[in-house]
Amino acid sequence: MGNPRLREVAVVGIGQLPVRQHHAAELRDLAAEAIGLALADAQALPEQVQALYASAMLSDELQNQKHVAALIADTAGLAGVEALEVRAATASGAAALRMAHLAVASGEVDLAVAVGVEKMSEGVVTPVLAKALDAQREVPDGTTLISVNAGLMQLYLDRYGAPREALALFSVNAHANARHNPYALFRERPITVEDVLRSRVINPPIRLLDCSPICDGAAALVLAPAEAAGRYTRHPVWIRASTVATDRFRVADRADPLALEAARCSAQKAYAQAGLGPEDVDFFEAHDAFSIMACLLLEACGFAEPGRGWELALQGAIRPSGRIPIATRGGLKARGHPIGATALYQAGEIVQQLTGRAGGNQLPNPRVGMMQSVGGAAATVLTHIFVREGG
Amino acid sequence: MGNPRLREVAVVGIGQLPVRQHHAAELRDLAAEAIGLALADAQALPEQVQALYASAMLSDELQNQKHVAALIADTAGLAGVEALEVRAATASGAAALRMAHLAVASGEVDLAVAVGVEKMSEGVVTPVLAKALDAQREVPDGTTLISVNAGLMQLYLDRYGAPREALALFSVNAHANARHNPYALFRERPITVEDVLRSRVINPPIRLLDCSPICDGAAALVLAPAEAAGRYTRHPVWIRASTVATDRFRVADRADPLALEAARCSAQKAYAQAGLGPEDVDFFEAHDAFSIMACLLLEACGFAEPGRGWELALQGAIRPSGRIPIATRGGLKARGHPIGATALYQAGEIVQQLTGRAGGNQLPNPRVGMMQSVGGAAATVLTHIFVREGG
């Protein structure tokens, strides 16, 4: 279990901006504001920060801006620190967290910030998002992230005979939970199965309410070695696993398109790192960019047998009162999916749950929270497992 | 000196493609080919690789491709491994090396590959490169990487009264050295001071032959813990320092534009990590994207007093026979500067020198090689120090 060479790492501060359309703010300012909130939460000063790992997937095109880590560091008053950008397409926020965890665990960095930001409201995002797919062998055929997910959903429905209503319940659960999250985009919109099934067809069988929305946001985490966590917070949360795995890049090259090998492999590595199994996980922040993805990830992580993830939705097991709650603060579907920031929202929400700060969404006494972050068509998947103090 | 928690890390394999215009090859294939060469050099099989850290600065625009780490992993037969992209604008290759070093040093990864690739020959690169600057406060004024460097060069000439000829000698040295490097772009073109001073004006006082060229390339390094290095090679090279520092993002916000604080700070951290000083460094692969940058980096690293870096060129100290040889295989100027790959060429060249494999460029018995990699207008600078076995 774990690597004895590595230090245990604690999350000692979190910061989130409300997921909205932040037309007036610049990308850098959104990120710096999230960092400021996270440092305030950790009662830490900018001078104490030694490293900043940043992610923004779309800034090259939408803001004509590269080199965002150094730009954000400067804006946040951190000029001087180590600052690098880490990416894995739509999982980029988790990639920044992975590097921050490694830097602190190794002993090289004593206080690190992972920040993610995205400002999607100023541009046409679909062709930019499609760059997460194979530009030579997929995109020229009209393939997009939506069409890939539509193909997986159709195959799933056909192969396993899952009722379409069951998949709609992933979105219903997400919207219900978002109502209590002041940072969520769709906090005013509880929806029903009928709403999902009557919503506009985007790419059959995917309808509008199967999809996460386009939005702006920024979120940050402050990480410190466990032995120093008490200096920053009375409620540290341990990161017990931080793993990455990849799969064949194109879905067409995979033995079973519904198996999501990168998710399975990344979860297995994470369980081994943490010395835990799926039975120990109290809740799961899945990368529910599309409802089918939430279902497939539940299966890949061992929360359901292959082909039976939809039963968890139908049985209510994914609801806050169920066996394996997901999207507890709204998920990508209803909190929103500002790409580069998303995983840092997920991580912050897990910390909120584990420290009793989830407000109207609070789960009863959770001990272990897990998250997965999906890059592109699941060619890259990252898994993080968090455990509360004393857990 | 160093962090006792970290494992010592060795470079056990290097791979480089000739820097050319590789019109026929895809980005992914260039990267995979470099990885194959590096693994062959390390006598390692793809199955042994646990992690791949990749860099490509311009692929978003020039190849419409994001998510390159997973794509390259798949192409190289590594699907399954941890694969992430790491960036710091024009220093991106060094950022990938930084993460690979951290992953192996921490004990998490036993065999890592850092790969960099760029294919600049299929697009207009100047506006894409300018995204390394501030898209809101610099680029709208017409600022480019060339104009920033031109401003620094003019200020340097004015403030220190350096002879223009001395700066031209940086390019002359680079081209002279490239003649013996079969991987260099300009191996057929020795040049004179007069050639530089008569070449086309790009942005006064910068002329064509002060600038590194636009080109394609890929290079890779294989890293292993020192205790396992003997399994892969009889000639390991230790990475004794891997550091990053940032500066105020815009040159206009810095107290002294010629001081390059990120370079100075990153070098100081590297010297402390390695337990070495500038007097111990036998040669220096500088980020000579422009001749003025080579000069300023020599000063920032302590090889010359501020304002006196040009004297090293005039005295011949930067030549292979001098006190502090630079661009020993051609440098960015004449080997070429395929952005995301550049730092991995620099690192591979240092390994060649330290293991007696630099052919017609071989320095006599060097022990310590250092490199710096500059992101944008030096808002980010990375420093790596390499020491040969027994050194």
- Contact between residue B292 and residue B160 where contact means Cβ atoms under 8 Å apart: no
Give the other-Cβ count within 10 Å of A47's Cβ. Answer: 11
Distance from CA of B188 to the nearest CA of A (A): 34
Give the other-Cβ count within 10 Å of B46's Cβ. Answer: 16
**Tokens at A322, concatenated:** 């169920």
CA–CA gap between residue A323 and residue A264 (Å, rounded): 20
The separation between the first and the last C-alpha atoms of chain A, rounded to the nearest angstrom, is 15
The answer to whether the CB atoms of A67 and B380 lie below 8 A apart is yes
Lowest mean pLDDT among A181-190, A315-324, B216-225, B288-297: A181-190
- Contact between residue B290 and residue B153 where contact means Cβ atoms under 8 Å apart: yes
- Calculate the CA B378 to chain-centre distance: 13
pLDDT of residue A189: 75
**Over the stretch B304-316, which tens digit does the pLDDT of each residue have?**
999 999 999 999 9
Which of A70, A82, A105 minimises the CB distance to B379?
A70
CA–CA gap between residue A322 and residue B125 (Å, rounded): 53
Query: ipTM greater than 0.85, yes or no?
Result: yes
If you average pLDDT over residues B165-177, what whole number do you get? Answer: 98
Is the pLDDT confidence value at B144 over 50? yes
- Contact between residue A313 and residue A160 where contact means Cβ atoms under 8 Å apart: no
Q: Chain B contacts of A51, Cβ < 8 Å?
A: 244
Is the pLDDT confidence value at A22 over 90? no
Distance from CA of A56 to the nearest CA of B (A): 11
Domains annotated for chain A, with CATH where assigned, are 9-124+215-231 (3.40.47.10), 126-212+240-388 (3.40.47.10)
CA–CA gap between residue B311 and residue B169 (Å, rounded): 10
Contacts made by residues A304-307, CB under 8 angstroms, sequence distance 24+: A306/A258, A306/A259, A307/A156, A307/A159, A307/A160, A307/A162, A307/A258
Chain B, window 183-222: residues with a beta carbon less than 8 angstroms from a chain A beta carbon: none
**Tokens at B271, concatenated:** 């010297």
**Over the stretch A321-343, which tens digit does the pLDDT of each residue have?**
999 999 999 999 999 999 999 99
Q: Chain A contacts of B69, Cβ < 8 Å?
A: 87-88, 246, 380
- Contact between residue A240 and residue A387 where contact means Cβ atoms under 8 Å apart: yes
Distance from CA of A13 to the nearest CA of B (A): 23
CA–CA gap between residue B26 and residue B18 (Å, rounded): 15
CA distances from B299 to A72, A79, B252 (A): 27, 21, 20
Is the pLDDT confidence value at B386 over 60? yes
Amino acid identity at B312:
L
If you average pLDDT over residues A118-146, what whole number do you get? Answer: 95
Alpha helices in A6-54 (DSSP H): 27-41
Distance from CA of A244 to the nearest CA of B (A): 5
Give the other-Cβ count within 10 Å of A48's Cβ. Answer: 15
Q: Name the 3-class secondary structure at A147.
A: helix
| Three-point CA angle A190, A195, A197, nearest 5° | 140
Give the other-Cβ count within 10 Å of A129's Cβ. Answer: 23
Q: Chain A contacts of B139, Cβ < 8 Å?
A: 64
CA–CA gap between residue B266 and residue B378 (Å, rounded): 11
DSSP one-letter code for A88 = B
pLDDT of residue A221: 98
CA–CA gap between residue B16 and residue B115 (Å, rounded): 10
If you average pLDDT over residues A17-32, what whole number do you get? Answer: 95
Q: Which residue has the tokens 């070495």?
A: B276
Distance from CA of B359 to the nearest CA of A (A): 35
**Over the stretch A97-131, which tens digit does the pLDDT of each residue have?**
999 999 999 999 999 999 999 999 988 999 999 99
Cα radius of gyration (chain A): 19
Is the pLDDT confidence value at B236 over 70? yes
Percentage with pLDDT > 70 across chain B = 99
Q: Which residue has the tokens 């709650």?
A: A325
Residues contacting residue B259 through CB under 8 Å, at least 6 positions apart = B300, B306
Is the pLDDT confidence value at B216 over 90? yes
Res. A1 pLDDT band, cuts 50 70 90: very low
Distance from CA of B64 to the nearest CA of A (A): 6
Give the other-Cβ count within 10 Å of A233's Cβ. Answer: 22
Q: Which residue has the tokens 């062959």?
A: B40
Is the pLDDT confidence value at A4 over 90? no
- Calculate the CA B376 to chain-centre distance: 13
B143 reaches A (C-beta below 8 A): no
**Over the stretch A260-279, which tens digit does the pLDDT of each residue have?**
999 999 999 999 999 999 99
Q: Chain B contacts of A80, Cβ < 8 Å?
A: 245-247, 261-262, 265
If you average pLDDT over residues B344-369, what whole number do you get? Answer: 97
Is the pLDDT confidence value at B204 over 80? yes
A83 reaches B (C-beta below 8 A): yes
**Tokens at A375, concatenated:** 């890059």
B110 reaches A (C-beta below 8 A): no
pLDDT of residue A273: 97
Residue of A nearest to B25 (CA): A136
Lowest mean pLDDT among A172-181, B21-30, B71-80, B312-321: B21-30
CA–CA gap between residue A378 and residue A373 (Å, rounded): 9
If you average pLDDT over residues A131-137, what whole number do you get? Answer: 97
- Contact between residue A291 and residue A333 where contact means Cβ atoms under 8 Å apart: yes
Size of interface A-B (CB pairs under 8 A): 213
pLDDT of residue B391: 60
The answer to whether the CB atoms of A105 and B106 lie below 8 A apart is yes
Q: Chain B contacts of A78, Cβ < 8 Å?
A: 246
B376 reaches A (C-beta below 8 A): yes
Res. A238 pLDDT band, cuts 50 70 90: very high
Is the pLDDT confidence value at A200 over 60? yes
The answer to whether the CB atoms of B105 and A103 lie below 8 A apart is no
CA distances from A270 to A89, A284, A381, B47 (A): 21, 13, 11, 20
CA–CA gap between residue A1 and residue A240 (Å, rounded): 10
If you average pLDDT over residues B370-382, what whole number do you get? Answer: 98
B145 reaches A (C-beta below 8 A): no
CA–CA gap between residue B386 and residue B354 (Å, rounded): 8
CA–CA gap between residue A158 and residue A150 (Å, rounded): 12
Which of A5, A86, A135 minimises the CB distance to B84?
A86
CA–CA gap between residue A67 and residue A266 (Å, rounded): 29
The answer to whether the CB atoms of A87 and B65 lie below 8 A apart is no
**Tokens at A188, concatenated:** 């005013």
**Over the stretch B105-124, which tens digit does the pLDDT of each residue have?**
999 999 999 999 999 998 89
pTM above 0.95, yes or no: yes
Distance from CA of B50 to the nearest CA of A (A): 10
If you average pLDDT over residues B270-286, what whole number do you get? Answer: 98
If you average pLDDT over residues B51-74, what whole number do you get? Answer: 98
Residue of A nearest to B106 (CA): A106
Is the pLDDT confidence value at B353 over 90? yes
